[in-house]
Amino acid sequence: MTLASCATEQVSEAPGTYPAVTGLVTDQSNNPIEHIKVTLEWSDNAEPIETYTSSEGKFRSEINIKDTDGAPVTINLTLEDIDGEDNGGMFETHTESFLLETENTEESDNQPIIDLVFHLNPSTDAESNPQS
């Protein structure tokens, strides 16, 4: 599986700020993929946050990181094709983790943003037809 993910981390987060995770999901030909379910999970969040890609393949989700006393937080992100062939084909589910560095700084009006890019591979026949 080929995956490119680029994290542009402008993250110097003060406690109480709400970073945004944004991204673009495309196929291997750089065509945007819509209706990809994006799930974000981390240790201090009781329920995963779910969002979906737009017709341009873009997504955005605000995340609320509680005070970590400057400790980094591992964010788990899962991309899942939920509509089968309707978005141009079946695509592999992909999970990736990234580390969000946090530090105690003065709050600013600039909201930290993590910008990601993913290129999903088509699903294989075995993945499309799971065996019991």
CATH number at residue 36: 2.60.130.10
Q: Confirm whether 104 is domain-assigned.
A: yes
Q: Mean pLDDT, to the nearest integer, of 50-61? A: 94
pLDDT per position as a tens digit, 82-113: 887 877 788 999 999 988 776 643 444 455 67
Q: Confirm whether 61 is domain-assigned.
A: yes
**Comparison of pLDDT for 107 and 52, the residue scoring more:** 52
pLDDT per position as a tens digit, 18-29: 578 899 999 989
What integer pLDDT is reported at residue 67 of this predicted model? 63
Considering only CA atoms, which of 9, 103, 106, 23 is closest in space to residue 57? 23
Considering only CA atoms, which of 39, 3, 27, 21 is closest in space to residue 85? 27
Q: Which helix (H) or strand (E) holds 40?
A: strand 36-41
**Comparison of pLDDT for 48 and 67, the residue scoring more:** 48
Q: Which sign does the torsion angle of CA 88, 3, 24, 75 carry?
A: positive
- 95 lies in which domain range? 8-124
